[in-house]
Copies of this chain bind each other. A is one copy, B any other.
Amino acid sequence: MNYKRFYLYVLGLSVLFIPSGLMAVQAVKQKPLTIQEQGSFAVGGTVIKNDGTFDPRKPANPAGQSFHGDHAYVFYQKPVNARKLPIMFLHGAGQFSKTYETTPDGREGFQNIFLRRGFSVYMVDQPRRGNAGRSTIAANLTPTPDEQMWFSQFRVGVWPDYFPGVQFSKDKETLNQYFRQMTPNTGPFDVGVISDALAALFDKAGPGILVTHSQGGGPGWYTGMKSDKVRAIVAYEPGSNFTFPEGEVPAPIPNTFAKLSGVAVPLAEFKKLTQIPIIIYYGDNIPDKPSDIPAQDYWRACLEMANNWANLVNKYGGDVTVVHLPNAGFKGNTHFPFSDLNNVEIADHLSVWLKKKKLD
């Protein structure tokens, strides 16, 4: 009995033992989820109000009318006998809560995996994205073909080639689902607006664990500084907006994709991130040395920035762990470890850490 089979066995799952490559197309009968409560709500945001008086006979006249926007949208599920701390999931750039739902090849994502492990889950669409589309700032949306860029940027491979051994199913429908799990910004990306809405979510839902992905990493650090109800942060491949104390921001890290700078915050704010355990994960196929492929080179710079940041937080008494997955025995992970073919093992690694930090 190998590790994976044993793991499924101890969870009491009824599964067909089939080659993992066939998992996507085979019916895998799992135990039912028992949900004590589920629902959705908007949280945070602001209101625009026009002067004047609304005239119900002239409903198209905006005088005296209001506009609620910039909230997050959240769908939550609480399993029966839930663990004390829920997990709040924030997506990355171009993505929405789907990131953590069914994987592109049709398996369970972290939403179901952590529900099965007894955690309440809060799936967030950040302000101005997906179901939280009502933005107080205008936007022009243009359908610009860009998916070969994302295929490379998300380190599935360098289009049209998949990385050897990549943890990503090569069937056509997987790629179709993967591209369709993107959705545009309906207003400017704004770290402040997003972290305000997330802090409001923690106020409403109570203390919890924040999981972020990619561009969501920045709003995650800010949420950790804004809310004392963030009890831990788990960041998958954070990119821009690492926060450093004023006067200690490192030089930008050169790379062939985009400028990567730290962001200055007051030392007192920065120190709040020393009060909670933090774990940061990066996947495979990140080059050691500068590369002329921008999609790879950027993540080299981010990993370096993450290590710099972790060292400084830890110097101030913090508890940050950076896991470069290939060094921990996980090969072939993309920018989305939580939905990769080995996502159960990736979840296991997190479960061990949560237990170690007494967060479960």
Contact = CB atoms under 8 A, between A and B. Distances in A.
A7 interface: no
Interface string A132-174: 1111111111111111110011000011100000000000000
Contact of A66 (B106, B141, B148): B148
Interface size range of chain A in the complex: 35 or more
A45 interface: yes
Contact of A32 (B36, B141, B177, B293): B36
Interface in A15-67: 30, 32-42, 45, 48-50, 54, 56-57, 59-60, 62, 64-67
Contact of A67 (B30, B69, B125, B147): B147
B180 A42 contact: yes
A102 interface: yes
Given A35-B35, A294-B57, A62 B131 contact: no
Interface in A93-136: 96-98, 101-102, 106, 108, 112, 125, 130-136
A48 B147 CA distance: 10
Nearest to A139: B141
Interface of A: 30, 32-42, 45, 48-50, 54, 56-57, 59-60, 62, 64-69, 71, 73, 75, 80, 96-98, 101-102, 106, 108, 112, 125, 130-149, 152-153, 158-160, 176-177, 179-184, 186-187, 257, 292-295
Given A66-B145, A135-B143, 5 more contacts: A32-B34, A32-B35, A32-B36, A62-B146, A138-B140
B186 A56 contact: no
Given A62-B145, A67-B146, A140-B138, A177 B54 contact: no
Contacts of A106: 39, 41
Given A33-B35, A159-B56, A40 B152 contact: no
A135 to B, nearest CB: 6
The number of times this chain is found in the oligomer is 2
Contact of A98 (B73, B108, B135, B149): B73
Contacts of A139: 140-141
Contacts of A60: 149
Nearest to A175: B68
Nearest to A292: B57
A280 B140 CA distance: 37
A123 to B, nearest CB: 10
9 contacts: A33-B38, A40-B98, A49-B145, A54-B148, A60-B149, A66-B147, A68-B176, A73-B180, A141-B186
